[in-house]
Amino acid sequence: MSTTTVTKAAAGTSGAPGAGSARPAAPTADGRIGLRANLRHIGALARRNALQIKQDPESMFDAVFMPIIFILLFVYVFGGAISGKGNNDVYVNYVTPGLMAMMGMNIAMGVGVGINDDFKKGVMDRFRTMPIARSSVLIAKIVVELGRMLIATAILLGMGFLLGLSIHTSVLHLLAAIGLSVVFGASLMWIFILLGLSLKSAQAVQGMAMLVLMPLQFGSSIFAPTTTMPGWLETFTDYNPLSNLADAARNLINGGAVAHSVWMTLGWSLVITLVTAPLAVSRFRKKT
């Protein structure tokens, strides 16, 4: 037969069931999950998400091709019109930092669709009946998606350099811009996870996400300077977090005042995360 050592259920007694089992980390008396165990769980779950990508390489298409297509389109379609014919390289320096912000938004949207899909599978029930923090399932997903976002950003910057992007500041400034978009991207992912857990179908998530995305993306300083916009729109873009992020990344790369836009971006990220992350985790806990 097997080599299992069977543990006795301590039903009716106060003894701890599971004693003598193979689990090395003794749970605390109230069963709370310690930080180290939590990190280990997130690691194991992130590995799952990464293996899924390995199994289904097509799921990387968006992260690989979206930056290539977008930067080519924007630089060659709008570049001449905005910066003057033959001045495409000026527009590259304008639009690439903006596209970094947009990349995060688009990847984040995918998270919502993915989590909605994932939830229809029995494996989520298994996770929720296991002695792990329920937030770890969501955090693991975010960790892997941030990885995807970094790949997309790397490809975007590579393309940017090919098209004439130049860093006027320093590599550290560039890294700061990337870091800022990662922080903001993570906060966006919480929004879309919340949407993904709240709406019925993946299509609904997609539709809802587009409704939110389009005005935020185009009503921003990502693609064109806001100075020619009507007053009301300029006001909107000034408070649009995507504008803040685009301005911050742009000034970090091209030089210029960064304090205001960086703080605004960090503030937005913090507020969004503080509001949506607890809602998403609670939604995940209660989802039937």
Q: Which 3 state secondary structure label does DSSP give 14?
A: coil
Among 35, 39, 45, 215, binds another protein (CB under 8 A): 45
Task: Give me the 124-163 binding string for another protein, x by CB under 8 A, dash otherwise.
Answer: xxxxxxxxx-------------------------------
- For residue 182, the one-letter residue type is V
Of the pair 45, 209, the CB lying nearest another protein is at 45
Under rule CB under 8 A, residue 58 binds another protein: no
Q: How far is the CB of 3 from another protein (least distance, A)?
A: 7
In whole angstroms, give the CA distance from residue 223 to residue 243.
Answer: 10
In whole angstroms, give the CA distance from residue 175 to residue 170.
Answer: 9
Among 35, 55, 230, 232, binds another protein (CB under 8 A): 55
Among 58, 61, 121, 227, binds another protein (CB under 8 A): 121
Q: Which 3 state secondary structure label does DSSP give 169?
A: coil
| The token pair that represents 135 in the structure block | 């937030």
- For residue 112, the one-letter residue type is G
Of the pair 59, 198, the CB lying nearest another protein is at 59
Task: Give me the 158-197 binding string for another protein, x by CB under 8 A, dash otherwise.
Answer: ----------------------------------------
Nearest of 101, 149, 113 to residue 252 by alpha carbon: 101
In whole angstroms, give the CA distance from residue 78 to residue 95.
Answer: 10
| The token pair that represents 202 in the structure block | 């993946």
- For residue 117, the one-letter residue type is D
Binding site for another protein (CB under 8 A): 1-18, 21-25, 27, 30-33, 37, 40-41, 43-45, 47-48, 51-52, 55-56, 121-132, 288
